[in-house]
């Protein structure tokens, strides 16, 4: 088994290899912050144990920002309160070459279901159908980004000696996208480089009876598939398939085929 530090290093590299979900122009008026490339590719921070994936990615972003000499992090994860009640959180305020930026950090896994909505953005939903790209963009636009301008935030802005009207708002929004198995889909609005695999319904698994399977832990969903894991034969993986169907909880899976090629996929319950 790899050590915790090696596993975190692999997760960090998986994060870094994930491209921005869009970059050519704003999406729904939301602009991406593309972190400038730097020479160092190592993760030097310390992560608390059992840190959930979203918070883990935030630390990966902060690590990358800290290693860039043009960038200064002014605040991380600042909760905004109104009479002791938290009304939201600013992921970060940074300066990039002295320009202040309010940065929100998002890392998502989406599958493409053309039965949902009418547009490319509508079609990308969470693997468990509980969330969607459209919902996340709407939340960013209507709730998370406007938090900067709330009266309750202004004392924080003033303490940083910033003018709120001069702060740019951007997101670091990365995602892994999964398309339907054996279906051609053309990605136009989003970054096609974010497509990393496909998804399978339970009834499609019979096509992979001669394949081997590996179910990574959720933090390891970030990692690029590789061969150095404990593979399961189809029969041994059936307990996982049954749990997906019974618990209605889709799972990320690596599939090693007869030619030793490895595919990344989601097995969905619906």
What does the pLDDT average to over 32-43?
84
Q: What is the pLDDT of residue 39?
A: 66
Q: What burial class does residue 259 get, using C-beta atoms within 10 Å of its C-beta: 0-12 exposed, 13-18 middle, 19+ buried?
A: exposed
Q: What is the pLDDT of residue 1?
A: 45
* pLDDT higher than threshold 60 for residue 18: yes
Residue 103: strand pairing partners? 92, 170
The whole-angstrom separation of Cα 90 and Cα 81 is 11
SS3 at position 121 = helix
How far from chain centre, in Å, is Cα 199? 17
* pLDDT higher than threshold 90 for residue 253: yes
**Cβ atoms of residues 89 and 105 within 8 Å:** no
Sign (positive or negative) of CA dihedral 122, 127, 133, 139:
positive
Which carries the bigger pLDDT value, residue 75 or residue 48? Answer: 75
* pLDDT higher than threshold 70 for residue 3: no
What is the tens place of the pLDDT at every residue in 55-110?
Answer: 999 999 999 999 999 999 999 999 999 988 999 999 999 999 999 999 999 999 99
Q: What burial class does residue 95 get, using C-beta atoms within 10 Å of its C-beta: 0-12 exposed, 13-18 middle, 19+ buried?
A: middle
* pLDDT higher than threshold 90 for residue 36: no
**pLDDT class for 37, splitting at 50, 70, 90?**
confident
* pLDDT higher than threshold 70 for residue 178: yes
Beta strand segments in the chain, E: 71-82, 85-96, 99-112, 124-125, 168-180, 195-201, 212-214, 232-233, 251-256, 262-268
* pLDDT higher than threshold 70 for residue 220: yes
- With CA atoms as reference, report the closest residue to 214 among 223, 202, 204: 223
Q: Where are the domains of the chain?
A: 4-196, 198-268
Tell me the average pLDDT of the chain: 95
192-198: long-range contacts (C-beta < 8 A, 24 or more apart)? 193/19, 194/18, 194/19, 194/21, 196/264, 197/263, 197/264, 197/265, 197/266, 198/263, 198/265
Per-residue CA distances from 64 to 9, 22, 53, 59 (Å): 13, 19, 17, 9
The whole-angstrom separation of Cα 225 and Cα 214 is 9
What is the tens place of the pLDDT at every residue in 125-163?
Answer: 999 999 999 999 999 999 999 999 999 999 999 999 999
**Cβ atoms of residues 80 and 156 within 8 Å:** yes
Percent of the chain with pLDDT over 90: 92
Which carries the bigger pLDDT value, residue 151 or residue 49? Answer: 151
* pLDDT higher than threshold 80 for residue 2: no
SS3 at position 201 = strand
Question: How wide is the angle at C-alpha 113 spanned by C-alphas 110 and 114, nearest 5°?
Answer: 135
The DSSP letter of residue 20 is B
């Amino acid at each position: 088994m790899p050590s915790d530090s090696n596993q975190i290093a692999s997760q960090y590299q998986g994060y870094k290899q994930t491209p921005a979900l869009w970059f050519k122009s704003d999406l729904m008026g939301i602009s991406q912050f593309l972190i400038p490339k730097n020479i160092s590719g190592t993760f030097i921070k310390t992560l608390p144990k059992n840190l959930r994936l979203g918070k883990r990615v935030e630390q990966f972003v902060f690590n990358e920002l800290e290693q860039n000499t043009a960038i200064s992090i002014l605040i991380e994860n600042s909760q905004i309160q109104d009479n002791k009640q938290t009304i939201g959180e600013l992921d970060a305020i940074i300066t990039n070459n002295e320009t202040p930026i309010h940065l929100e950090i998002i890392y998502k896994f989406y599958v493409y279901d053309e039965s949902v909505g009418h547009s490319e953005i509508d079609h990308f939903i969470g693997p468990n159908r509980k969330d969607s790209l459209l919902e996340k963009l709407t939340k960013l636009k209507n709730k998370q980004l406007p938090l900067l301008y709330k009266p309750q935030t202004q004392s924080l802005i003033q303490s940083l000696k910033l003018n709120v009207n001069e702060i740019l708002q951007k997101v670091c929004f990365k995602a892994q996208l999964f398309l339907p198995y054996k279906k051609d889909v053309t990605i136009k609005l989003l970054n096609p480089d974010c497509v990393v695999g496909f998804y399978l319904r339970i009834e499609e698994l019979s096509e992979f009876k001669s394949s081997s399977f590996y179910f990574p832990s959720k933090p390891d969903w970030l990692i690029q598939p590789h061969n150095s894991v404990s593979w399961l034969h189809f029969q041994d993986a059936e307990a996982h398939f049954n749990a997906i169907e019974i618990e209605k909880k889709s799972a990320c899976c690596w599939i090693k085929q007869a030619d030793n090629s490895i595919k990344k996929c989601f097995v969905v319950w619906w």
